[in-house]
């Protein structure tokens, strides 16, 4: 079990070399004017892999997510992303003038839209809110609708942009369970951007730490989800030290003091 905890600051490795990754970035850079946001980044995500991306604000994690979501134009770069992607944003971003089920089916082609939306909403436990207006939903409900809206598209790549950051602790834990359950059923590759180390440890197969536009640490977790309590403390400490930057010592000592 301990071997897994050894830090491997590795540039790249695919989780299963024989399986073609769904996401593949090579020497990816992104700059706005003189500011280099992402600097020579290599990244592979295998099909069905759950990757958490940790980073401070300004570390480039949102830029990376926007690139993978196809929201930023990338030209002349070695970027491969699957055609079917879906994003869940930190704020649910539902259209307030469309009923919940129409939000879920937004932009979908084909017939039986309502049935498909209904099925997705049932999966997130909101079958009864089909005909509600988004602004009447609680934060947790809105975020579950956003999840349904992403899943109804059967994405190969699901991008989660700090999706639980605005939720209260209890709702957040419920959402963790829900996301894992849905992930097990649908098996999309997941890239979850977060600044919450606990969340990353609880959910991901692999954790990346992004700092200054580079991946500074990479950690693969083989322990079953639900049995990760034991490795939390040590792993968290390591991840935090990479995350901390200037304030690293403070953060780590606080964590140690708490234990």
Residues of this chain that bind other proteins (CB under 8 A) = 69-71, 85-87, 89, 91, 93, 95-98, 106-107, 133-136, 149, 153
Query: C-beta of 252: minimal distance to other proteins in Å?
Result: 34
Output the CA–CA distances (angstroms, integers) from residue 227 to 5, 64, 171, in the order listed.
Answer: 15, 30, 21
For the chain, the first-to-last Cα distance in angstroms comes to 21
Q: Smaller CB distance to other proteins: residue 39 or 91?
A: 91
Query: C-beta of 89: minimal distance to other proteins in Å?
Result: 6
Query: C-beta of 61: minimal distance to other proteins in Å?
Result: 16
Q: How far apart are CA 255 and CA 233, in angstroms?
A: 9
Q: How far apart are CA 241 and CA 192, in angstroms?
A: 20
Q: Smaller CB distance to other proteins: residue 124 or 240?
A: 124
Q: Smaller CB distance to other proteins: residue 69 or 252?
A: 69
Q: Smaller CB distance to other proteins: residue 2 or 73?
A: 73
Lookup: tokens for 257:
């003091």
Query: C-beta of 57: minimal distance to other proteins in Å?
Result: 17
Query: C-beta of 161: minimal distance to other proteins in Å?
Result: 10
Query: C-beta of 86: minimal distance to other proteins in Å?
Result: 7
Q: Smaller CB distance to other proteins: residue 48 or 155?
A: 155
Q: Smaller CB distance to other proteins: residue 152 or 197?
A: 152
What's the CA angle centered on 219, arms 216 and 220, to 5 degrees?
150
**Residue 18 has what DSSP assignment?**
T
Beta bridge partners of 190: 50, 158
Burial class (CB in 10 A: 0-12, 13-18, 19+), 56: middle
Positions of E strands within the chain: 23-32, 35-45, 50-55, 78-80, 85-88, 157-161, 189-194, 206-211, 214-220
């Amino acid at each position: 079990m301990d071997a897994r905890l050894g830090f491997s600051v590795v540039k790249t490795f695919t989780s299963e070399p024989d399986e073609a990754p769904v996401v593949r970035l090579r020497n990816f850079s992104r700059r706005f004017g003189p500011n280099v946001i992402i600097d020579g980044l290599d990244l592979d995500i295998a099909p069905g892999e759950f990757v958490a991306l940790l980073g401070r604000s300004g570390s480039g994690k949102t830029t990376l997510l926007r690139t993978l979501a196809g929201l930023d134009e990338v030209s002349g770069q070695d970027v491969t992303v699957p055609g079917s992607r879906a994003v869940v944003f930190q704020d649910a971003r539902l259209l307030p003038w469309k009923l919940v089920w129409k939000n879920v089916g937004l932009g979908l082609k084909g017939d039986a839209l309502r049935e498909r939306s209904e099925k997705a909403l049932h999966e997130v436990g909101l079958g009864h809110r089909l005909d509600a207006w988004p602004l009447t939903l609680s934060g947790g409900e809105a975020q579950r609708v956003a999840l349904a809206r992403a899943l109804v598209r059967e994405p190969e790549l699901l991008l989660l942009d700090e999706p639980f950051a605005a939720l209260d602790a209890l709702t957040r834990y419920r959402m963790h369970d829900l996301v894992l359950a849905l992930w097990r059923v649908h098996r999309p590759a997941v890239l979850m951007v977060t600044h919450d180390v606990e969340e990353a440890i609880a959910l991901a197969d692999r954790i990346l730490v992004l700092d200054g536009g580079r991946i500074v640490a990479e950690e693969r977790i083989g322990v079953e989800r639900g049995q990760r309590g034991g490795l939390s403390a040590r792993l968290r400490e390591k991840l935090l030290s990479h995350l901390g930057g200037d304030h690293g010592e403070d953060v780590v000592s606080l964590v140690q003091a708490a234990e």
